Amino acid sequence: MSINQKIQTLRELMKQNGIDVYYIPLGDDHLSDEYTADHFRCVSFISEFRGEASVIVTQDFAGLWTDGRYFTAAEMHLKGTVIELMRMRQPGVPDPVSFLISSTPEGGVLGFDGHVVSAAVYAALSKALARKNASMIVDKDLVGEIWGRERPAMPAGEIFVLPKKYTGESAAERIERVREKMRQRGADVLVITALEDPCWMLNVRGNDMSTTPVAYAFAAVTERTVTYYVDKKKLSDKALKHLKDSKVTIKPYGAVAKDLAKLRDKTVWADLSHLNSYFSSLIDPSNRILNLASPILAMRAVKNSTEIRNTRNAHIKDGVAMVRFIRWVKENVGKIPMTEISAADKLYALRAEGKGYIEPSFHTISAYQQNAAMLHYSATPESDTKVEPRGFLLVDSGGTYLDGTTDITRTITLGGLTAEEKKYFTLVLKGMLQLTRARFLQGTTGNNLDILARGPIWDLDIDYQCGTGHGVGHVLAVHEGPHGIRWGMPSPARPSAPFEPGMIVSNEPGVYLPHELGIRTENELLVVRGQKNFYGQFLSFETLTYCPIDLDAIDVQYLEDTDIRQLNAYHQSVYETLAPLLDEDDRAWLKEATRAVER
């Protein structure tokens, strides 16, 4: 069926079920908002759009909500369909929940699948719709009915153990840390729903996603028990023994619903923004809900010394692959057939040669010229563009190793740059350098620091419609919180958290001119302690990424002397770190690529 046919079929099912408005959010039973298995991608099925989005359908309207990272891609994708693009956080565009409330008529019915809508959203909708004498039907997966037998099965990737030499703590030690937080809060039961949290706590990783080493599983912790709800077929003998030795009880994935329904007179720690409304409805009213973020979120955000040491190793291996890749691109463009996809494939192959490599940390963004204006562009056989010896190739990529997770973007000069292109490239670099050298008091959040990176771009009266930085997991999701770097006031939808030593955050300002070009330069930063004095504890950043920044695109008139000294020092560090690991030809190329910049 075409997109329009799917929307029409959905409308017919809505009529049959007495539903006026139907909501299709991005997510799964765990309310994962970014990395979800194909089985749960109802938004992608109904709209055929693969970016992060949600869809709302009435009898006379269909809209797809997405943020600035996807505006250009979604605009092109939805052209000619009945689905209207709703640009989130733009003037006059309501957020999805507000639109659901306003669009549900007096005495009408709103419908959705309660497994993929949070308890917090359900509560807000319930309260607002009650004032309109409207109701909700929350047990209808209408998109699933349309999808039918063609819907992908639940993933069944094998779960493996991540040894203590990589994590720095045993599962038992991590479980005890979680229990201590529960004691402090007076919680009897902690319900763990985020896909990353059981992996971190139990020192296991999964293969249910193509680029994120997590497994579809829930967990629950009490003072005496740890229960892991997972398909037992996924567990290798080694993983089974590891969990048994860690005193973890294994139950089927679906058994979590029955166990939640059995709870009575307990204090249940559950983050209602990440507990689906179906599960929430099973919890007996005799229980007290402690509606707080999982304690594991903050724990995994702060890396211990072992994780930091291993992450540094991962970045060095990643740097070797990137140097070899950039040299290959620059020396072969225009001489051999090269496209966005063939370039990405070359990088995949080079990374795979690194010791302990598991998989990409996300699908590589290999975008040539105007395609790079789409922040999360993904080349397909239909869109795959020939790479030619002019302009820019933007490559945003990363690797997951047993040591750690990497994320890096380099915009590669292929030839024939204009003065304007060099200006944009240099000001993006300037913002990245300014943020890197920030010194700040403990208690500072990314909202306070964002202007350092974004300022040079705002000076041009343009913006990049995304955050400047995100947290990075340790052999987990490449995007994680609670910290990040973005402008604006924190809100429940876009929370913030103070930086702490041991946190890792990306630093990736950019310029994106729709249908023209895209430029981004990204390094990962580690938060480290600085001086402590009368004014408090100062913090700063240490760069973890080792890879040259393309000097062919720099116009030094836009850099201060401080910027030039900083860039030269960084490049000296890149050369000294990577040169011993490269062959003679790659080493000679890197020497030239990291040469000192002079005014």
Query: What are the pLDDT tens digits along the chain (599 aa)?
Result: 999 999 999 999 999 999 999 999 988 999 987 788 999 999 999 999 988 899 999 999 999 999 988 898 899 899 999 999 999 999 999 999 999 999 999 999 999 999 999 999 999 999 999 999 999 999 999 999 999 999 999 999 999 999 999 999 999 999 999 999 999 999 999 999 999 999 999 999 999 998 999 999 999 999 999 999 999 999 999 999 999 999 999 999 999 999 999 999 999 999 999 999 999 999 999 999 999 999 999 999 999 999 999 999 999 999 999 999 999 999 999 999 999 999 999 999 999 999 999 999 999 999 999 999 998 888 999 999 999 999 999 999 999 999 999 999 999 999 989 999 999 999 999 999 999 999 999 999 999 999 999 999 999 999 998 999 999 999 999 999 899 999 998 887 777 899 999 999 999 999 999 999 999 999 999 999 999 999 999 999 999 999 999 999 999 999 999 999 999 999 999 999 999 999 999 999 999 999 999 98
How far apart CA 251 and CA 239 sit, in angstroms, is: 14
Q: Which two tokens stand for residue 79?
A: 């052209």
Q: What does R_g of the chain's alpha carbons equal in angstroms?
A: 25
- Name, in order, each residue with C-beta under 8 angstroms of 112's C-beta and a sequence gap of 6 or more: 22, 23, 24, 25, 136, 138, 140
Looking at residue 492, its pLDDT comes to 74
How far apart CA 501 and CA 542 sit, in angstroms, is: 11
Domain residues of the chain, as ranges? 3-150, 160-300, 302-593
Q: Rounding to the nearest 10 degrees, give the CA dihedral for residues 452, 454, 455, 457.
A: 150
**What is each CA distance from 304 to 166, 174, 546, 592, in whole angstroms?**
10, 12, 21, 36
Q: Please name the CATH architecture into which domain 3-150 falls.
A: 3-Layer(aba) Sandwich (3.40)
425 alpha-carbon distance from chain centroid: 24
How far apart CA 215 and CA 154 sit, in angstroms, is: 11
Q: Do domains 3-150 and 302-593 have the same CATH topology?
A: no
Q: Which residue has the tokens 């990363």?
A: 398
How far apart CA 470 and CA 485 sit, in angstroms, is: 6
How far apart CA 348 and CA 91 sit, in angstroms, is: 40
Q: Which two tokens stand for residue 175?
A: 């479980």
* Bond before 514 cis per omega within 30 degrees: no
Domain 160-300 carries which CATH code?
3.40.350.10
Of the options 3.90.45.10, 3.90.230.10, 1.10.1040.10, 3.40.50.300, the CATH number for the domain spanning 302-593: 3.90.230.10
Helices (H), 333-418: 340-352
DSSP helix/strand/coil, 122:
helix
397 alpha-carbon distance from chain centroid: 12
Looking at residue 427, its pLDDT comes to 98
Model pTM score:
0.93
Helices (H), 333-442: 340-352, 419-436
